[in-house]
């Protein structure tokens, strides 16, 4: 079976899921996990659907019943592994809300979703479909939560109103990606009795973000 690697290539009609036929969730998870493993080993350019199917222990026909192309498979994996941040909890203070937002983003970036994001950032620069899914799965949930953090802080009188609350999300995502992906502090890698890279990043970024938002010192 020929490998499908282009976004405009689709599977033949007979490979589409039959209506009413339930998906095997366990098989889906195996394929997604295998995709992440092959991506880590071979990168996006070296990934083939045949290699993923073999790693997952299924046929390529089974894979194509779920995803029509290599790109669809990778996009599905990105969506699956991106943590669903959920609603922003109200801690009662701007400092507490920011700490939770930063901690959740650090956990996402240091987990499987972060490893996948690291692999796909370069590819997304010239692949519009991947760029869109990374924005919707990674950036937009943080934007929504950041806007809620700002709204609550303004309502409490903690900070003055902001013209664009989503700028906070850009600071959170950009700073955490830079800190954890581009300039990790080697003293925290693999530490068992000290802070992780994510915890160290939170300690550094939280005071800066509070000042940038206009929160009073202390």
Task: With CA atoms as reference, report the closest residue to 133 among 85, 83, 76.
Answer: 76
Q: What is the second-level CATH architecture of the domain 23-69? A: Orthogonal Bundle (1.10)
User: Would you state the structure tokens that stand for residue 155, as one six-digit string?
Assistant: 């309502």
pLDDT at 84: 58
Q: What is the pLDDT of residues 68-93, one digit of tens each?
A: 988 889 888 887 776 556 677 899 99
CATH 1.10.357.10 domain residues, the chain: 82-212
Residue 169 phi, psi dihedral angles, 5° rounding: -65, -40
Q: What is the pLDDT of residues 155-193, one digit of tens each?
A: 999 999 988 888 888 888 888 888 888 875 544 444 444
Own/partner pairs, 156-163, CB within 8 angstroms, 24+ separation: 156/93, 156/94, 158/93, 158/94, 158/215, 159/94, 159/213, 159/214, 159/215, 160/214, 162/213
Q: Which letter, b or e, does each residue of 77-111 get, where b requires 16 or more Cβ atoms within 10 Å of its Cβ?
A: bbbbbbbebeebeeeeebbebbbbbbebbbebbbe
Q: First vs last Cα of the chain: how many Å apart?
A: 64
CATH 1.10.10.60 domain residues, the chain: 23-69
CB of 53 closer than 8 Å to CB of 59: yes
pLDDT at 83: 57
Q: What is the second-level CATH architecture of the domain 82-212? A: Orthogonal Bundle (1.10)
Q: What's the whole-model pTM score? A: 0.71
Q: Is the pLDDT of residue 150 over 90?
A: yes
Q: Is the pLDDT of residue 95 over 80?
A: yes
pLDDT at 79: 78
Q: Is the pLDDT of residue 96 over 90?
A: yes
Q: Which residues, 6 or more positions from 76, have their beta carbon under 8 angstroms from its beta carbon? A: 32, 66, 67
């Amino acid at each position: 079976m020929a490998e499908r690697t282009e976004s405009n290539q689709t599977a033949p009609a007979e490979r589409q899921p039959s209506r009413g036929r339930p998906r095997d969730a366990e098989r889906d998870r195996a394929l997604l996990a295998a995709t992440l493993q092959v991506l880590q080993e071979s990168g996006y350019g070296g990934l083939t659907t045949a290699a993923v199917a073999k790693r997952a222990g299924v046929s390529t026909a089974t894979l194509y019943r779920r995803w029509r192309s290599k790109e669809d498979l990778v996009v599905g994996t990105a969506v699956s592994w991106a943590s669903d941040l959920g609603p922003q909890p109200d801690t009662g203070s701007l400092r507490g809300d920011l700490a939770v937002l930063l901690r959740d983003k650090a956990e996402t970036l240091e987990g499987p979703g972060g490893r996948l994001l690291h692999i796909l950032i370069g590819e997304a620069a010239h692949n519009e479909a991947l760029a869109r899914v990374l924005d919707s799965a990674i950036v937009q949930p943080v934007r929504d939560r950041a806007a809620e953090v700002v709204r609550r802080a303004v309502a409490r009188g903690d900070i003055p109103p902001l013209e664009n609350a989503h700028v906070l999300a850009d600071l959170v995502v950009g700073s955490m990606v830079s800190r954890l992906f581009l300039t990790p502090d080697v003293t925290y890698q693999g530490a068992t009795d000290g802070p992780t890279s994510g915890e160290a990043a939170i300690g550094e970024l939280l005071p800066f973000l509070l000042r940038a938002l206009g929160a009073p010192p202390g």
